[in-house]
Chains A and B, each alone.
Chain A
Amino acid sequence: MKTETGGIRTGSEVSSHDRFIGPLRVAITGGTSGLGLALVREFGARGARVAFLARHAEPVAKVERENKNTHGIVADVSDKGAIYPAALQIVGELGGLEILINNASDLGAVPLALLADTNCEDLEKAMATNVLGPFRLTKALLGALAASAREGRASLVVNISSDAAVTPYPKWGAYGASKAALRHLTEIWNQELSVEGVRFLSFDPGEMDTPMHTLAVPDADRTTLKTAEAAARELITAIETALTRPA
C-alpha cells in the first residue's frame, strides 16, 4: 500500500513545541490504539491541544493520563446519539477546532469474509463507523471548523483512507466499500466547502503494525509493516503540506 501524500519527518526533527502544530486544536477519533493513539501522542508531544474519542472508559482514562495536552471523551462514533454530545465536549473542552481526524475504523466481518458470506449487520457496522460516523461528526463540528477558517486559522478534516478504498480486494468488501464511500465523501466535501476555507484530505497510512491489521491479516510478517508512529508522523507532514498550500 502507498500513501497518497509523501514525505516523512523523523522523530529527531520534532521539537516538544512545534511552531506549526503547537497552536492547533485537534480532535481524533479512535484515539486509544493503532494510528489514532500514535496521533494523540505525536500531536500532544508537539504542543497541540488534543481531544480524542474512543469507546471504552478505561483506555481513554489511561491515554489521557499518559499524554499531556490531551483530553479523552468516551464515545462510539457509530452511535448516532453519541455524536453531538461528543462534539459538545470537544468544542467545550478545546474552545474551538482546527483539525478533525476521522480515524476510528471498523473492518466489518472478522475474520475477513467473501461478500457472499458477510452478514448484513457487519456491513452496517462498517458503514456506521467508517462512513456515517465521520459524516455526522464532521457536520456537528463544521461550525467550529468554519469559524476557524473565517478567523484566518487552519481548518482541515482528515479522513483516514486505505488502498482498499481504491482497489477492490476480495474479502475486504465491507471495509473497502465503506472506505471508498468515505474517500468519495471527502472529495465532495472538499469541493463544496473550499469556498468557506474548510479543507478535506484523504490519507492512506499504508499497511501498519496495529491491532486492526492483526485482526485482518493474523499471519502477516510484522517486520514488513510500518509502525503507527511513522504513519502518524507522515500524516502530520501531510497536514502541514495541505495547510501551507493555497486552497
Chain B
Amino acid sequence: MIAATVPVQRSRRAKVMVVDPSGQIRDLPRTALIDLIQPGELVVANDAATIPASLSGVHLPSHRPIEVRLAGVPSLDLDNREFSAVVFGAGDFHSRTEDRPQPPSLAAGDRLQMGPLAAKILHLLDHPRLVLLEFDHSRDELWAGLAHHGRPIQYSHVPVPLALWDVWTPIAGPPVAFEPPSAGFALSWQLVTEMRVRGAQFKTITHAAGLSSTGDPELDKRLPFDEPYRVPRATAEAINQAKSSGKRIIAVGTTVVRALEHAVHEGQIAAGENLATERIGARTRLQVVDALLSGTHEPGTSHYELLRAFLTDEELERLTTELNMREYHTHEFGDSVLVARTRNKLAEDKPSRCQHVASLVCSSASDYRLRHRSI
C-alpha cells in the first residue's frame, strides 16, 4: 500500500474495498458507500474529538528537550489531570517515530515544562518511556494550555504540520481522543443525512482513541492501551433493538468495535461509561458488530490484527493482496475498507467459544492496565 501523505479527509479519489459475508471482494469509489447501507441497518461511529496531545517541552532535571505524547486517561472525566504519556527525545514528527532519540532518563517526581503547561511524573508505567503524568493546572488552564501549545500527534508520512481541523472528524464532539478516530474521516454530513433518509440509523459512542504507534517495539506490543468509552442511552437502545430484529450493525472504526464488544453483556449493550481493556483479534467472537468501515491497515499493527475477528487468515491475506495490487492508500488519510464478518469466519468461530473467553481473560493483561486502573 501507499502512504497517504496529504491531510485531506474526503478525497474525491478515495476508494473503498468491500468484503461481503461470502468473502467476495469489490473495489469501489468511496462515494458509493451510501449504496452499501441498507434500510434498517445501524451505523455506529466514534464522535470523539482529538486533543492536540503532542507537547514539546523540557525535562527540567536534565534541561533536555523532549516531546510528550499524551496517550491515555483512566476515564472520560474532563476534570482529569492525570494522563499516561509516551516521552520522546529531541525532534518532532518529521523524523520517523522509530528513529526518534530516547528521552533523558525519567524518574518519578521529575518535572516537565511544556510551554505554559507544567507537570510531574508520578511513576513510570513498566517502561522507561511510558509515564503517568499529573498536570499542575486547573481544568480551564489545562484546556487553554493544550489549545495554544499542543499540536496534533502526527507521523512522518504527512510532511506538513497538522492543524486541529485536519484531525477532527465532521462529527467530532467531546475532546477525549489522543489520535483521531480516522475511519470517521470517510463520513460527511451528506452521508449521515442520506442514511437517515434511506431508513438506516446513525448513532455514536465516545471512545478515547489512543496512540497507534510509539516507535518502540516493546511498547507497540502493548497497544492499544486501555481506552475509556461511553455508550449513550440512545445508542445502546438502538443497538439492542437492531440486534433483536436481526439488522446489521456497522462500526465506523476499530475503536467502535473495541468499545461495543466490551460493552456487551449477555447479548445486551448497557449504556454508560467503561474502560475497554481487551484486544480484539483472531480469537474474538464478535457479539455485536457485523461489519467494519475502517482505514486500510498494514500487517503487524493492532488494527490489522483486529480484522482477524471478521475474516479468516486466508481472506485477510487475499484482502491485503488486493489492496496492494490496486494501489490503495494507507494511514489515516488513506482509502477505506468495509469488511463484513464472513460466513467462513463465523463457521471458524463456532467451536472456539471457550478459547474466546480465555482470550478475554488473558489478552493484554498488562501490568500497565492493572496499575493504571488502580490509580
A interface vs B, CB < 8 Å? 71, 73, 81, 84-86, 88-89, 91-93, 95-96, 140, 142-144, 146-147, 150-152, 192-193, 195-196
The verdict on B234 contacting chain A, using a C-beta distance below 8 Å, is yes
Q: Are A151 and B232 interface neighbours, CB within 8 A?
A: yes
Q: Are B197 and A143 interface neighbours, CB within 8 A?
A: no
Residue of B nearest to A198 (CB): B189
Q: Are A195 and B234 interface neighbours, CB within 8 A?
A: no
The verdict on B168 contacting chain A, using a C-beta distance below 8 Å, is yes
Q: Are A150 and B168 interface neighbours, CB within 8 A?
A: no
Point out the residue from B47, B143, B193, B235 that lies within 8 Å of A143, measured CB to CB.
B47
Expressed in whole angstroms, the minimum distance between the Cβ of A94 and any Cβ of chain B is 9
Expressed in whole angstroms, the minimum distance between the Cβ of A134 and any Cβ of chain B is 16
Q: Taking each of A71, A81, A84, which has the highest tally of chain B beta carbons within 10 Å of its own beta carbon? A: A84
The verdict on B196 contacting chain A, using a C-beta distance below 8 Å, is yes
Expressed in whole angstroms, the minimum distance between the Cβ of B144 and any Cβ of chain A is 6
Q: Are A143 and B147 interface neighbours, CB within 8 A?
A: no
Point out the residue from B163, B173, B203 that lies within 8 Å of A84, measured CB to CB.
B163
Main secondary structure of the interface of A (DSSP, over half): helix
User: With a CB–CB cut-off of 8 A, which chain A residues contact B147?
Assistant: 85-86, 88-89, 92
Q: Are B174 and A89 interface neighbours, CB within 8 A?
A: no
Point out the residue from B143, B197, B235 that lies within 8 Å of A93, measured CB to CB.
B143
The verdict on B128 contacting chain A, using a C-beta distance below 8 Å, is no
Known: A95-B78, A150-B203. A88 touches B164 (CB 8 A): yes
Q: Are B175 and A73 interface neighbours, CB within 8 A?
A: no
The verdict on B154 contacting chain A, using a C-beta distance below 8 Å, is no
The verdict on B171 contacting chain A, using a C-beta distance below 8 Å, is yes
The verdict on B157 contacting chain A, using a C-beta distance below 8 Å, is no
Interface residues of B in 182-202 (CB under 8 A from A): 189, 192-193, 196-197
- Tell me the complex Cα distance, A150–B47, Å: 11
The verdict on B233 contacting chain A, using a C-beta distance below 8 Å, is yes
Q: Are A143 and B189 interface neighbours, CB within 8 A?
A: no
Q: Are B143 and A195 interface neighbours, CB within 8 A?
A: no
Q: Are B78 and A143 interface neighbours, CB within 8 A?
A: no
The 4 closest A-B pairs by CB, nearest first: A85-B147, A84-B164, A92-B143, A143-B173
Known: A85-B148, A192-B193. A91 touches B174 (CB 8 A): yes
User: With a CB–CB cut-off of 8 A, which chain B residues contact A196?
Assistant: 189, 192-193, 196
The verdict on B204 contacting chain A, using a C-beta distance below 8 Å, is yes
User: With a CB–CB cut-off of 8 A, which chain A residues contact B146?
Assistant: 88, 92
User: With a CB–CB cut-off of 8 A, which chain A residues contact B47?
Assistant: 143, 147
- Tell me the complex Cα distance, A73–B146, Å: 13
Q: Are B164 and A143 interface neighbours, CB within 8 A?
A: no
Known: A86-B147, A195-B197. A143 touches B168 (CB 8 A): yes
User: With a CB–CB cut-off of 8 A, which chain A residues contact B174?
Assistant: 91, 95-96, 144, 147
Residue of B nearest to A51 (CB): B140
Expressed in whole angstroms, the minimum distance between the Cβ of A133 and any Cβ of chain B is 14
- Tell me the complex Cα distance, A142–B168, Å: 11
- Tell me the complex Cα distance, A71–B144, Å: 11
